[in-house]
Structure 1
């Protein structure tokens, strides 16, 4: 065969292969987005009412705080190992599906509990097994596009839209059917999400050594690098170490507020308001997430992360002061903006600073810091809210102020 014809055939094969990979990638984006949209409907239905359900069963405010502590202690412990396993096996969708299914299974059981201690135990187990989802989910998203801010913004918009739908649905379901039916329906939706996520097509990565991590390098299928030790110490050095510390402080404040906020909203504005206020937050995040992600790609994540911390300070202070429910909806919209800014900017920061071979571990450590903050924060929030909700909300300005000062020292 003439050399020119061989080159033409080779060129056609390469174009066909590129088109096939593009179709697979687009399909993966679609199935992951749809699966996580449905999963977040379930999360948005169930999560805002967990604290209210605990109070319904007779729990104290301290025990309501412990509900978040139990979940996030276990998430803190298990997210990084699950991220390591996801990296070492090259398996993303399996860990995502396992984590979602675990959360759904325990929500189904929560629906039939009669004691606060039972809910606390089941929420703890949700933290253990549900933590398999988060690092693999973040790593898979980062691998679907080279534009980290845009792809995270897209998924945050989709997922927050699902969470918003769940918030409003949850408010209606509680009003008409009660909280037990709410948890049953949430569990069912999560199993539907698992089925959709299972349609994602991942490239096989071969067998991996159980003793050492073997990582596929970006753009080099079949080229492998062996890491003899964890990247944990490397990720906590220097500028990245400061970054993870700021995330921890922000999430301490977040845990102080959100671990008790549903009880505060129910007591101050009525039970209907819980899902509605969370729904407005989710609406703001869904509406702006993609566009904020594109801005982060254009101008860098650091400055938007600093803005998000300032947004936390403003939102929590206003929640402490505002008593009109319609004005609270405005505060909730601001709160949704600061949340999506935080998620987009922190995820994009890690995607820029950490190589692909350690990215799930980097994302896992990011989520671990978030979970750890939600261990410390709810302990403070449960105790201080027993004295005064307003005292608790205003005290969040201390860790947020420190986080802001440290964030100003971060490198772009």
Structure 2
């Protein structure tokens, strides 16, 4: 065989291999998109009614705030370790499946709760095991395309479409089947999503044994050797550290508002409005997510992150004073746009600045700072809402203003 013939055969093999890789990647995108759509239908059904469910069971407004604190505190603690495990094993789908299945089981158990304390315990356990999902989920999405803004935009559109469908479906289920049925159906859907995720084909890579990583080792020196490879210190330095701080501040404001907003909407506009308002937010995010992602790729994540922070301030201020439900629907649409702008821009900012081998840790730390903000925010929101909902909503401008000022210093 001549050199020319060998070169032709080699070229054909390389083209065939590239085509097969492309097929696998497209298949993975489709499977993950379907699985996350279903998962977010479940989230959209159950999440808006958690606070209302707690009030029905007799919880105070402060305890309603603790519901978010419990989930996000445990999520804050466990997301980064789960992200590190995902990076270390090279496994994404197993952690996504573990997280979604756990969330589903605990939602189903909530339907049988008879006291606020039981719901609080189940929500805490959701935070522990559900935190396995997000770092691996974000890392897997970032690995499906070189255009971070576009791929996150696509998935945020799909996921918000699912959340929107769940919001409207949840309202109907509550109306005709009762609130407990929402949690049972959400649990079933999350278990289905978990099963679909396991169909994803991941590329084999050098993996360390999980047993070797979690085995108890004697002495502080051996423990230090176990975690020496962690990217935590590097990620928290310089502009990335400043970025993570701004995310914490934005999510503190978010936690202040959303931890009590369901109760506010129910009291002011009626129980029917809860799912509808959340559904409109999700509709806006679904319609605009992909296009915002494309714009982020073109103009940069920082600009859209700043715009998103300003959007939070405007939306919460309008929510504080809008008493007409039709006006609130318009505010909800604006609020949905600022949310998808936030998640797209922050995910793209991390993806563009963190290496692939540390991607899940970077995304895990992003989710950790979001969760940490949702630990502090609901504590403030639960207390201030007991005084005045308007006071709580307006006070979110304090952390948002500080975040905006600090974000001006971020790298382009």
TM-score (norm 2): 0.96
Separation of aligned partners in 2, 1:207 and 1:374? 33
Q: CA deviation at 1:227?
A: 8.8
Partner of 2:82: 82
5 Å-filtered alignment, 1:226-241, equals 228-241=228-241
How many angstroms apart in 2 are the aligned matches of 1:227 and 1:352?
A: 24
**1:207 Cα shift?**
3.6
- Equivalence map 1:74-113=2 (5 Å): 74-113=74-113
> Structure 1 residues 305 and 282, CA, compared in 2 at 3 Å: closer, same or farther?
same
**Paired residues for 1:135-214 under 5 Å:** 135-208=135-208
- CA distance in structure 2 between the aligned counterparts of 1:332 and 1:239, rounded to whole angstroms: 32
For residues 381 and 235 of structure 1, the distance between their equivalents in structure 2, rounded to whole angstroms, comes to 30
| C-alpha distance in structure 1 between counterparts of 2:21 and 2:260, whole Å | 46
Q: Return 5+ residue gaps in structure 1 as ranges.
A: 214-225
Deviations 1:220-251 (A, max 9, x none): xxxxxx99431101111111111000000000
CA contact (8 A) 2:90 2:207 kept: no
> Which residue of the partner structure matches residue 35 of structure 2?
35
Distance in structure 2 (CA, Å) of the matches to 1:42 and 1:68? 18
Alpha-carbon distance change, 398 to 278 in structure 1, aligned in 2, over 3 angstroms: same
Q: CA RMSD in A?
A: 1.3
The answer to whether the 8 A contact 2:67-2:120 is kept is: yes
Cα drift, residue 357 of structure 1: 1.1
Equivalent in the alignment of 1:223: none
Contact 1:157 1:288 in 2 (8 A): yes
1:397 partnered with 2:411: no
Counterpart CA distance in 1 for 2:92 and 2:177 is 36
Correspondence 1:55-134 to 2 at 5 A? 55-134=55-134
Deviations 1:132-165 (A, max 9, x none): 0000000000000000000000000000000000
The gaps in structure 2 that reach 5 residues or longer are: 215-225
Q: Tell me how far apart the structure 2 counterparts of residues 9 and 407 of structure 1 sit (CA, whole Å).
A: 53
Task: Specify the alignment match of 1:216 in structure 2.
Answer: none
Q: Deviations over 1:77-121 (max 9, x none)?
A: 000000000000000000000000000000110001110000000
> Quick one: distance in 1 between partners of 2:70 and 2:227?
33
Pairing of 1:347-386 with structure 2 (within 5 A): 347-386=347-386
The equivalent residue for 2:278 is 278
CA distance in 2, matches of 1:172, 1:209: 46
Tell me what 1:290 maps to: 290
Quick check: 2:88–2:207 contact (8 Å CA) kept in 1? no
- TM-score w.r.t. the length of structure 1 is 0.96
Deviation at 1:368, TM superposition (A): 0.2
Offset of residue 17 of structure 1: 0.4
How far off its partner does 1:289 sit? 0.2
C-alpha displacement at 1:203, in angstroms? 1.4
Quick one: distance in 2 between partners of 1:207 and 1:62? 45
- Distance in 2, matches of 1:164 and 1:181, equals 18
Check conservation: 1:41, 1:162, Cα contact below 8 A.
Answer: yes
CA distance in 2, matches of 1:327, 1:90: 48
Alignment partners' CA distance in 1, 2:109 and 2:22: 41
